[in-house]
Amino acid sequence: MDIQFQEFIDKIKKDGIASAEEEAARVHLEAETKAKEIVEAAQKEAINIVQKAKETALHTEKAGIAAVEQASRNLIISFKSEIEELLKKIILKDVTEVYDRDLLKKIIPKVIQGWISKAGSIDVILNEKDLTSLSKWAQKELSDEINKGIEIKMGKNIGTGFRIREKDGSAYYDFSASAVTEALCGYLNPVLAGILKDALKEV
């Protein structure tokens, strides 16, 4: 084989191998760069996913806590309302039982004496049952007051107890069992609220 021809063949082989090696190096570098970019992008995406997951978890936790707190408040309000209603029923029952004819005979003259000097002519309003049972007593024991213009009348929608009304309608005072109960509950409900509040602190 001609020496020059052999040198030509060797040069082609050498140049081909060099070119192939360069191309392989370039492809390898591109592959490494691309792989690095993919890894970095994946890491960023993972960080974003974790951050979003933390934010979602925090939001869910806050929402859950808020829901539990609201449910607790609703339960306390409902419980307080039930206790207040039960307390009202107990007080009304007790006041109604205490408000018998003997007590009315003691209270009515004292209330009248307190008002007759201020208001002059007033009406004492009773329910039909109490008016019937106390009419004879009133005519005897309150004759002086009746002569001064006091009238004892029957009123509608009044339970146990009585009401005082000035003749000119300028004032109206309710001493019925329901009114006394409302007044007592108005005083006791804040006390009850305080008791419940203190009790909840210990839970």
pTM summary value:
0.54
Q: What is the pLDDT of residues 152-168, one digit of tens each?
A: 888 888 888 888 888 76
Q: Which residue has the higher pLDDT, 151 or 167?
A: 151
Predicted local distance difference test score (pLDDT) of residue 18: 63
- Residue 136: closest CA among 158, 152, 150: 152
If you average pLDDT over every residue of the chain, what do you get? 78
What proportion of the chain, given as a percentage, has pLDDT over 90?
Answer: 0
Identify the weakest region by mean pLDDT among 12-26, 101-115, 136-150: 12-26
Residues in CB range of 112: below 8 A, 6 or more apart: 122, 124, 142, 145, 150, 164
Q: How many CB atoms lie within 10 A of CB 155?
A: 16
Predicted local distance difference test score (pLDDT) of residue 11: 60
Burial of 181 (0-12, 13-18, 19+ CB in 10 A): buried
Burial of 79 (0-12, 13-18, 19+ CB in 10 A): exposed
Predicted local distance difference test score (pLDDT) of residue 7: 62
Q: How many CB atoms lie within 10 A of CB 149?
A: 13
Among 1.10.287.1080, 3.30.2320.30, 3.40.50.150, 3.20.20.70, what is the CATH number of 99-190? 3.30.2320.30
CA-CA-CA-CA torsion sign (8, 14, 17, 19): negative
Q: What is the pLDDT of residues 60-109, one digit of tens each?
A: 888 878 887 787 777 777 777 888 888 888 888 888 888 888 888 888 88
Q: How many CB atoms lie within 10 A of CB 165?
A: 19
